[in-house]
Amino acid sequence: MTIAVVVFPGTNCEHDAVHALTLLGADAELVWHRETDLDDFSGIVLPGGFAHGDYLRTGAIARFSPVMAAVTEAADTGKPVLGICNGFQILCEAGLLPGALIANRDLAFICKPIHVRVESTNSILTSAATVGDVLRIPLNSYEGNYIAPPQDLATIETGGLVTLRYCDENGDVSDLANPNGSTNNIAGISNARGNVAAVMPHPERAAELILGSDDGRRLLEGFVAATKTSSQTNSVAAS
């Protein structure tokens, strides 16, 4: 089955996502944000960019795009849903993930490779990785600074829902290795079930050595594997 890569007006990383997923042996196709039926897809990616110009707040208008009802339904039924960068912001606005993303601590757009450490493997994004893996992946955002109200933060931390944290090349998580001021160096989170996950840096831009790193594969491989399991479950249910 095919993975849907959703395109909003202003999305700009959709081709990178399709390319990387195709490299990993998956079928992926672009789906316009006005689509209302995603039943035929085995997984969904909300890629990076500036959906609806990022007006009002990042992701705020995108969450009311017609496709989002189908994304929410897919998330509720356990299908893999992955948000990258702007997709992370949209999933938070939609309430599918807790918290919010605000302007970077130093009010600068950050575009550079950074390191993240795998904190949990109970999500579609990290299931093919090992806790403690240090990955080098590009960060490319202005609103990448993760915040959450104290009670949500406690739930995220105690529930093991932090999938990735910013770190240095040795895997040390510190203020110095925090590029954007994210609370507790959070770079990626998932829901409790693990089928909805989001990451601020771009694994799809680190899927080939010619791009400087193929560490992103370790994340996307988990996602692709999850979409295969999901489509098997669906075809069993259908037969």
Catalytic residue ranges = 85, 202, 204
92 binds other proteins (CB under 8 A): yes
- Shortest spacing between CB 97 and other proteins, in angstroms: 11
CA distance 188 to 146: 9
What percent of the chain is helix, strand and coil (3-state, nearest 5)? 30, 25, 40
Which span (6-14, 93-101, 122-130, 230-238) binds other proteins, by CB under 8 A?
Answer: 93-101
Q: Between 36 and 65, how does the x/- string for binding to other proteins read (CB under 8 A)? A: --------------------xx--xx--x-
Which one of 23-31, 132-140, 143-151, 225-233 is the stretch in contact with other proteins (CB under 8 A)? 143-151
What is the nearest approach in angstroms of other proteins to the Cβ of residue 58?
A: 10
Of residues 131 and 192, the one with the C-beta less far from other proteins: 192
Q: Report the alpha-carbon distance of residue 38 to residue 46 in Å, rounded.
A: 13
**In the bound complex, what is the minimum distance in angstroms from residue 63's beta carbon to other proteins?**
9
**Residue selected from 104, 123, 178, 185 as contacting other proteins according to rule CB under 8 A:** 104
Pairing assessment for the beta strands 41-46 and 196-199 based on DSSP bridges: unpaired
- 201 Cα distance to chain centroid: 8
CA 227 to each of CA 14, 55, 128: distance values in angstroms, whole numbers, following the listed order: 18, 32, 13
Give, as ranges, the residues between 155 and 184 that touch other proteins (CB under 8 A): 181, 183
In a 3-state reduction of DSSP, which class is residue 195?
coil
Three-state SS string across 31-69, please?
EECCCCCCCCEEEEEECCECHHHHCCCCCCCHHHCCHHH
Secondary structure (DSSP) of 114-147: EEEEE----STTTTTS-TT-EEEEEEEESS-EEE
Give the interface segment with other proteins, choosing from 101-109, 157-165, 199-207, 227-235 (CB under 8 A).
101-109
Single out the residue of 23, 30, 134, 147 in contact with other proteins (rule: CB under 8 A). Answer: 147
Closer of 20 and 46 to other proteins (Cβ): 46
Q: Please give the single-letter amino acid code of residue 62.
A: A
* Residue 214 CB, nearest approach to other proteins (Å): 33
Interface contacts to other proteins, rule CB under 8 A: 56-57, 60-61, 64, 92-93, 98-100, 102-107, 145, 147-150, 152, 181, 183
